Amino acid sequence: MSGCGCSHGTVFEGLSAGYRRVLWVVIALNATMFAVELTAGLAAQSMALKADALDFLGDSLTYAVSLWVIGRPLRWRATAALAKGISLAVMGTAVLAMTLWRVFVLGQPDEFVMGGVGALAFAVNVASALLLLRYRNGDANVRSVWLCSRNDAIGNLAVIAAALAVGATASAWPDLVVAAIMAGLFLSSATRIVRQAMGELRSTGSAPAAETA
């Protein structure tokens, strides 16, 4: 029996009290950071912070869905993962669109707020990723949670780097570039989640035929 509560050859589906507890903690952390980063992003006029705040909100909602579908049929779990993948794609597209719009309304963000809040967000996401590390190889529903937390920590490092670059160059461009990179990260993760979810949905569709063959 492995740490995730599943034997070799069996895909972990989240059926673990420990995993549920971890999800509740991660949901609380993400919801708190959404409020903190949105406030800071508005105050600092930082697109990167606003993009990251939006990501925290999306994660809070999708993790709650992940928690709700645990123990339900594979089709339910795969459909939930598919919805999460699509929502990530929508967020990525929205952030990219806002970033392109901001290019024409440039204003230098506050690098000190960006850096400080980015560091706090990084610490939260690293903690979340470490809590979820042992559950990273589960089904599409479980794996999507791990991918989101891991990618968020990478995104936070980019926000911190952007803050340093904004201060060094006295320009808003580093902030905009990082926001665009984060949008690309959202879209990349969305593609991966959607592919795995679609594969699981196809497998549920072929199951009855296999049984009657």
String of DSSP letters for 73-89: -HHHHHHHHHHHHHHHH
Length of the chain: 213
* DSSP-derived secondary structure for 51-70: HHHHHHHHHHHHHHHHHHHT
Two tokens, residue 150: 């891991």
Amino acid at 187: L
Confidence class for position 37, pLDDT limits 50, 70, 90:
confident
CA atoms within 13 A on the CB side of 107: 10
Amino acid residing at 140: A
pLDDT, average across residues 191-210: 69
Q: What is the CA radius of gyration of the chain?
A: 19
Tens-place pLDDT, residues 107-150: 556 677 777 888 888 899 889 888 888 877 777 767 777 777 87
Q: Return the pLDDT at 209.
A: 40
Q: Give me the pLDDT at residue 85, please.
A: 79
- The mean pLDDT of the chain is 75
DSSP 11: -
Find, among 157, 170, 134, the residue nearest to 19 by Cα.
Answer: 134
State residue 41's pLDDT score: 82
The b/e string for 141-157 (b: 16+ C-beta within 10 A; e otherwise) is bbbbbbbbbbbbbebbb
Percent of the chain with pLDDT over 70: 79
The pLDDT of residue 99 is above 70: no
**Cα separation, 105 vs 24, whole angstroms:** 39
pLDDT of residue 100: 63
Structure pTM? 0.63
- State the helix-helix crossing angle for 17-44 and 111-132, rounded to 10 degrees: 170
What is the model's pLDDT at position 28? 93
Write down the pLDDT at residue 32.
93
CB of 144 within 8 A of CB of 70? no
Helix-helix angle 140-169:111-132, to 10 degrees: 160
**Domain residue ranges of the chain, discontinuous segments joined by +:** 17-207
